[in-house]
Structure 1
Amino acid sequence: MKLLKSLLLLLALVSISNVWAQGEKRFKIHTVAFYNLENLFDTINDPLKYDEASPMMEMKANRSEVYKKKVKNMARVVANIGSDMANNSPAIIGVCEIENRDVLEDLVNDPLLLGKDYGIIHFDGPDKRSIDVALLYQKALFKPIDSKSHELLIYDDVSRKRVFTRDQLLVTGKLEGDLIHILVNHWPSRSGGEARSRSKRVGAAKLNKRIIDSIQSKDPYAKIFTMGDLNDDPTNESVKKVLKAQKDKKRVGLKGIYNPFEKMFTEKGYGTTAYRDAWSLFDQIMMTKPLLEDDYSSFRFWKAGIYNKAYLTNKRGRYEGYPFRSFADGGFTNGFSDHFPVYVYLIKEAIED
């Protein structure tokens, strides 16, 4: 209700300031989101991949039924993200922890999403666990122009052997005519401890920054989103020192990056995943300055949020309040994910026909 009142107030203020010259204005709203789907693997053993270690493949019975429930649960969440305000599922949603294109085909063809006609952009990556990132988009709203998978070359600090991890997906396209660029990430985990693994995420951030710099060298006013499960908080070195993401919109320079999730983490204590009674906000969506301007003749950022509805949380026990994950103690819980999704709303002045 507070969110609705805030939007109505915003629209009222814009309308009042222009009422004499242009009359009242209406705005389109679209949701851009990201969701870690927590081991969305199929039930088929791929001899070319190390998928045996997935929770799905480790199940001894009812694997097919579990898979169907898992897909349906994921579809329910995707269908609901942003619907309170946009009256629609996300126009664009980045995802991670998916095994292949097949599981995404099953997801977008679920009855809850079939009518949205989602397209899929996915590349098979080199991750040793066979998990990838991807982008889903409503074909009626977003028109892809180009897509590329950027290889992340990082090495273990001790063995100096290459760490095979997720590529970074870059998609360029038009959201109802507005040119935007979307980077989808799943940065290296904290396996072995945060300090020991830090350099890997710093390396991922450096690749991310190079991609963004390359886009901005051609167009300083490019509208760029970078999103994903970063396995780092908004305050960590990878985000603050490498990407130089700002928590205050007023401090974002022309080629700078804004992170609306930093204040949620530092000032409100919000998170998207929890471990040992501590919340982390690993899932983030950041953006460049052109998305922050006050001219709503094209899509601009309005508000960010964490989709943490009650049905996505544990209701009791040791993990009460934590994300209600799909797999625990070697079995399927009929839950959702160990991460909450994140989203941003974009608004644009609607032109009267």
Structure 2
Amino acid sequence: MKKILWLCLTLIVTFVLSFCLPDEKPEAYSIAFYNVENLFDYHDDPDVNDDDFLPGGKCHWTQNRYEKKLNQIATVASKLGDSDGPELLGMAEIENSHVLKDLINISAFAAPYGFIHQESCDNRGIDVALLYKKKIFKPLYHKLYSPKSMEGIKSGLRELLLVKGILNKDTTFILVNHWTSRRTGVEKSERKRIIMGMLVRELCDSLFRINKESEIIVMGDFNDTPHDPSVTEVIMAKGNAEKMGGEDLFNGFGNIDASKIGSTKYGKNWLTFDQIMMSKAFYKKHYKKGSSEIYHPEWMHYKSKLMNGPYRTFSGSKYQENGFSDHFPVYINFK
């Protein structure tokens, strides 16, 4: 009789606790991108144009300034999405593998990271790279892809880094971009960004021909907004997931109000140049809806005044010791 009573009591307690205890939420992971504004070391590399970033150069780039920059970038990167940093972090304006090795050894990175980097032909000596958590991502293959030259286009085109790997258990392709700036004017430089968009689209199409359900992430500093033709028409990235065709990409940053915030600022205008896009298969299977974010806490704004714009390392030629970058990082969460 006592055994029956104890059994009944156990069943009742288990039943009550099942309603009282909070549901366990599925863990969310993050993918981020950050243009870190000229992350150079202070050593002379005869193969790149790094003269400004030497102790005797225009920027008076010393070991102390370099180490300060590393710590500033690591502090930001470690806070993107997860409590211990993003699973994948695309980066732009990296000088070489040496600075990446120094960066991932900063104590702000709690989890073990690896990185993928390949020297590009950029005339400023800056490259793109991908950092990844070793426990989450297993790289299988990577390659730099150059855009096809077109009549009248002689320089200013950067290579794109494509990385294939296993993200958790799924084969995933990541395309890391840093497109031509608008320094020479929007219209004059637009053609170069269109060419880069064509390269992205060509690579996506080749992946879709192999597998229509390819899981693709396209990230970078595009120097164009989510509403410019290079993104909407050439890459075919939609801000509305319901309007996506089978081979379109989804761009959650198209829904961010650029009058209120962007990833960088020119004069008084916010611009969302930094974006993360994804294929329909990745969106449907992994994307946490509404999670596309620009990371811009008050302490990352110039003089800690919200909406002043990114607190950069250099304002013109003036060094700002507590600056981070002229861009805010962006991230998405995935399941």
User: Is this a same-fold pair by TM over 0.5?
Assistant: yes
Q: SS where residue 93 of structure 1 aligns?
A: strand
> Are residues 316 and 135 of structure 1, via their aligned partners in 2, closer, same or farther at CA, if it must alter by over 3 Å?
closer
> Are residues 313 and 223 of structure 1, via their aligned partners in 2, closer, same or farther at CA, if it must alter by over 3 Å?
same
2:243 pairs with one of 251, 254, 265: 251
TM-aligned CA deviation for residue 58 of structure 1:
3.1
| Equivalent residues of 2:113, 2:133 under 8 A apart | yes
State the TM-score, normalizing by the size of structure 2: 0.88
Counterparts of 1:58 and 1:301, CA distance in 2: 45
TM-aligned CA deviation for residue 54 of structure 1:
4.7
| Equivalent residues of 2:176, 2:220 under 8 A apart | yes
| Equivalent residues of 1:261, 1:284 under 8 A apart | yes
Q: SS where residue 80 of structure 1 aligns?
A: coil
The one-character-per-residue Cα deviations of 1:292-312 (angstroms, maximum 9, x if unpaired) are: 22xxxx533431100001111
Q: Which runs of 5+ in 1 are unaligned?
A: 1-18, 348-353
Equivalent residues in 2 for 1:1-353, closer than 5 Å: 26-54=25-53, 58-59=57-58, 61=60, 63-83=62-82, 87-113=83-109, 115-154=110-149, 160=152, 162-265=154-257, 269-293=260-284, 299-302=286-289, 303-315=291-303, 321-334=308-321, 335-347=323-335
TM-aligned CA deviation for residue 168 of structure 1:
0.4
| Equivalent residues of 1:170, 1:184 under 8 A apart | yes
Counterparts of 2:140 and 2:328, CA distance in 1: 30
Counterparts of 1:252 and 1:149, CA distance in 2: 28
Counterparts of 1:341 and 1:119, CA distance in 2: 19
Q: SS where residue 28 of structure 1 aligns?
A: coil
| Equivalent residues of 2:172, 2:216 under 8 A apart | yes
Question: What number of residue pairs does the alignment pair up?
Answer: 314
Counterparts of 1:212 and 1:95, CA distance in 2: 20
Greater mean alpha carbon deviation, residues 65-74 or residues 43-52:
43-52
TM-aligned CA deviation for residue 208 of structure 1:
0.6
| Equivalent residues of 1:128, 1:165 under 8 A apart | no
Counterparts of 1:32 and 1:54, CA distance in 2: 30
Q: Which runs of 5+ in 2 are unaligned?
A: 1-17
Q: Which residue of 1 aligns with 2:14?
A: none
Equivalent AA in structure 1 for residue 184 of structure 2: G
Equivalent AA in structure 2 for residue 46 of structure 1: D
Give aligned-pair identity as a percent: 35
Q: SS where residue 315 of structure 1 aligns?
A: helix
The one-character-per-residue Cα deviations of 1:139-189 (angstroms, maximum 9, x if unpaired) are: 01111111111112445x7xx362153210111111111221110000011
The one-character-per-residue Cα deviations of 1:11-68 (angstroms, maximum 9, x if unpaired) are: xxxxxxxx99xx9564121100000010000111111111124588734656110001
> Are residues 195 and 88 of structure 1, via their aligned partners in 2, closer, same or farther at CA, if it must alter by over 3 Å?
same
> Are residues 164 and 278 of structure 1, via their aligned partners in 2, closer, same or farther at CA, if it must alter by over 3 Å?
closer
| Equivalent residues of 1:143, 1:175 under 8 A apart | yes
State the TM-score, normalizing by the size of structure 1: 0.83
| Equivalent residues of 1:154, 1:163 under 8 A apart | no
Whichever of the two has the greater Rg, that structure is 2
Counterparts of 1:328 and 1:56, CA distance in 2: 18
Counterparts of 1:164 and 1:211, CA distance in 2: 20
Equivalent AA in structure 2 for residue 206 of structure 1: M
RMSD: 2.3
| Equivalent residues of 2:138, 2:167 under 8 A apart | yes
> Are residues 161 and 221 of structure 1, via their aligned partners in 2, closer, same or farther at CA, if it must alter by over 3 Å?
closer
